[in-house]
Amino acid sequence: MESLTPDILALLFVAGLVGGFIDSIAGGGGLITVPVLLATGMPPVAALATNKAQAMFGSFTAMQNYAKKGHVTLADMKYAIGFTCMGAIGGTLLAQKLPQGLLMQVIPFLLIAAALYFTFGPKIGEVDRHHLMKQTPFYAIFGVLIGFYDGFFGPGTGSFWALAFVSVLGFNMLKATAHTKVVNFTSNFTSFLFFAIAGHVLWLPAIIMAGGQLIGAKLGSGMAMKHGTRLIRPLLVIISLIITTKLIYDDPNNIVHVLIQGGLN
């Protein structure tokens, strides 16, 4: 793109770094990177495709860092990877055919529920709790559903995974975050492949942002492992609420948006 001047490329690098840092801790890095990509003037499909291309570097780095420290064992995640890949393929292929309006109505409420759950639940995510479901059926259900969602739309995927790991499998917050990075990378990489095959990825901004992602994800995952629940839990709540606010603000047809506008008028 001719509009990608050195100062814009520098901005993209910083956006990748900040997005990778936040995403490696609590998810929601796309809330930063996608608007920046759109602000450069690239078409929405290209922005989404390029975002997937750069985000997978951050999720891979965070996943590798958590695995090295023993917070997740990749060999135990084969079912999670398989089912998430299946879901992401379906979501990416059907993204242009299914109505996104319904998802845009429901997602803010789901994110608000996640934020309330982590805010007011007594000691939720601080220690491992008894699981409510075996891991194989858990990955079959949530892998397909959340993988599909990430391929189809995306915002808040990390928050949904963290909530599922904590509430259903009983993981502590750090363990949930580490496992989230594995499935997050899976759906990112799967979506990237299909976008790349279709020719939607813009490689220069993707490479520039990937450099920032590598640094940000390394720093963020290291900080999460150092500070644990004290950092992850409040940041997850904040990111969930920010994503919710943005989704409501960007969608004039959202029920909450309509009610707020009606009250102001």
pTM (2 decimals)? 0.76
pLDDT average per 10 residues of sequence, the chain (265 residues):
80 91 77 80 82 91 90 93 96 71 62 64 54 90 93 76 89 89 94 90 95 92 75 66 68 56 56
Locate 10 and state its tokens: 């520098």
The CA-based diameter of the chain, rounded to the nearest angstrom, is: 56
Structure tokens at 180: 């989230």
Kindly list the distances between the CA atom of residue 106 and the CA atoms of 96, 230, 236, 243, 248, in Å, as whole numbers in the listed order: 19, 29, 19, 13, 10
pLDDT on residue 96: 60
The one-letter amino acid at 100:
Q
At a CB cut-off of 8 Å and minimum separation 6, what does 82 contact? Answer: 139, 143
Q: Where are the alpha helices (DSSP H) in the chain?
A: 6-25, 30-39, 44-68, 78-94, 100-120, 135-138, 144-152, 157-167, 173-197, 203-227, 229-250, 255-264
The pLDDT value recorded for residue 182 is 95
Rg (CA), the chain: 18
Q: Token pair of 118, please?
A: 């982590």
> Residue 215's domain spans which residues?
6-264
Which pLDDT does position 141 carry in this prediction?
96
pLDDT at 262: 57
Q: How far apart are CA 27 and CA 181, in angstroms?
A: 9
How far apart (Å, rounded) are the C-alpha atoms in residues 191 and 168?
Answer: 26
pLDDT at 106: 64
Domains of the chain: total: 1
Q: Is residue 1 part of a domain?
A: no
In this prediction, residue 44 carries a pLDDT of 77
